[in-house]
Structure formats: C-alpha cells, structure tokens
Amino acid sequence: MKWSTLLLAGGQSSRMGQKKHMLQLDGRPMIERQIDRFANHSEEILVVANDGLEISREHVKVMPDIECFKGDGPLAGLYTGLKTSRSDAVCLVACDMPFASVQMASWLAEVLEEGYDAVIPCLKERSHPLFACYHKRILPIVEEQLILGKRKMQDMIDRITVKQVQEEDAPEWDAEKLEWLLFNMNTPEDYETARRKIEEGDIL
C-alpha cells in the first residue's frame, strides 16, 4: 500500500523548553533528520507546524493546522494530514521520535491494508498512537471528535477499527529495539539520551 508520511511539529514543547523539531541531532535539526529518513520511501511528506516553519524541498509540504482546529493538539494535526494527503494511508510520526523507522512504518502500512482503520504499536501495555498508520476513511470521525471538543487521540481511536500490534507481531524487532523505535524526547534529559546514542554510532 502506498502511504504518506505525516510529521507533527506543532506541540508546545513545554517540558523541553524549546521547539523539539528544531533540536540539533546528527548535525541537523530534528525535523530535517526525519525528512531525510522518510523522503525516498513514501509518496509525500506532510509537515504540520503552527510556528511558520518553512522547508523548501521536493515532495515536502509544510502547513499549519486547518484554521478551525488550530492548536487542538495531535488530533488536529492528524485531521489536517488526512485531509491533505493524496494517499489513503498516512503514517503519523511525532517530531520528537528520533529513531522512528521507515521499515516499521512500511510494515504498519502493510498491516493497515488488511482492512483496519488504524494500526498502532503497543509495547509493555502502552499504546503509541503518535507513530502509527491511519486510513483516510476515518476523516469524518476525526472531524466529528474535534467539533465536539473531544481532542484526545484515544477517544477517537475507541471509535474506529484498530489493530494493536504487539512485540511478538513485529518482524525482526526485539523488545529493546522496539523501545528505541518508539522512544520520544519530552525532556532535556531525553534529548541528551538520544544525542549520546547517535554519537556512539548506535543509530537505528
């Protein structure tokens, strides 16, 4: 199944103290690093950012949340991406996930093709909806949730057909590697952890 990459760069970054998508990793801003990882593997790259971010690259489109839902969190970003995407499948990736894997995204899209509305990784009983694949058919439900002011991703997920993929489902990834693939940077300490891992040459 063809799929589009949707990078969410619209968070408040309150715990980090600065814009997470502009943090330097591997000698470049985080958002550029993610674009480089996904650029040649998906139909297009959509970046949702509400801070005036500008990126001039082929097949990369930067946009703010659709105005009526601006600032309504990840669900609004998902809505914007689904509405804009030219693919039926959208792989959502939060901007603070430095080790998000193209291979894993492709696998999630393959599972989505089995007829699910969403395929979401689950590790150690924790769901990770911000690195997951969603089908465009859920757009009316996402819109309805936002209109009702129900902005939590989980509230929307409870209304659709979801495949939660567990550690034992994932090909070639053990629990330790999955933890890194799903690792996100919320604090300066998390950022330093990611930097050290990259500097040590252990880049996933």
Residue 204 has pLDDT above 70, yes or no: no
Q: 91: domain range?
A: 3-199
143-168 pLDDT, tens digit per residue, is 999 999 999 999 999 999 999 998 88
Give me the pLDDT at residue 81, please. Answer: 96
pTM greater than 0.85 = yes
Q: Rounded to an integer, what distance in angstroms lies between the CA atom of residue 108 and that of residue 105?
A: 5
Phi, psi angles (nearest 5°) of residue 156: -70, -45
More confident residue, 4 or 21: 4
18-31 pLDDT, tens digit per residue, is 788 889 998 899 99
Residue 183 has pLDDT above 80, yes or no: yes
**Contact yes or no for 40/57 (Cβ under 8 A):** no
Q: Rounded to an integer, what distance in angstroms lies between the CA atom of residue 89 and that of residue 136?
A: 6
Is 90 inside any structural domain?
A: yes
Is 160 inside any structural domain?
A: yes
123 CB-contact burial (10 Å; exposed 0-12 / middle 13-18 / buried 19+): middle
Is 204 inside any structural domain?
A: no
Tally of domains within the chain: 1
| Mean pLDDT for all residues in the chain | 90
Residue 169 has pLDDT above 80, yes or no: yes
**Contact yes or no for 136/90 (Cβ under 8 A):** yes
Residue 192 has pLDDT above 90, yes or no: yes
The full DSSP string for 147-204 is HTT---HHHHHTTS-EEEE-GGGSTT--HHHHHHHT----SHHHHHHHHHHHHTT---
57-95 pLDDT, tens digit per residue, is 888 999 988 888 988 999 999 999 999 999 999 999 999
Q: Rounded to an integer, what distance in angstroms lies between the CA atom of residue 199 and that of residue 177?
A: 17
Give me the pLDDT at residue 12, please. Answer: 58
More confident residue, 55 or 94: 94
Percentage of the residues of the chain whose pLDDT score is greater than 70: 94
Return the amino acid letter for 4: S
Percentage of the residues of the chain whose pLDDT score is greater than 90: 63
Q: Mean pLDDT highest for which of 94-98, 137-141, 183-187?
A: 137-141
Q: What CATH number did the domain enclosing 76 receive?
A: 3.90.550.10
**Contact yes or no for 141/156 (Cβ under 8 A):** yes
- Which two structure tokens, joined as six digits, stand for 76? 């609004």
Is 94 inside any structural domain?
A: yes
**What is the dihedral sign for C-alpha 173, 177, 179, 184?**
negative
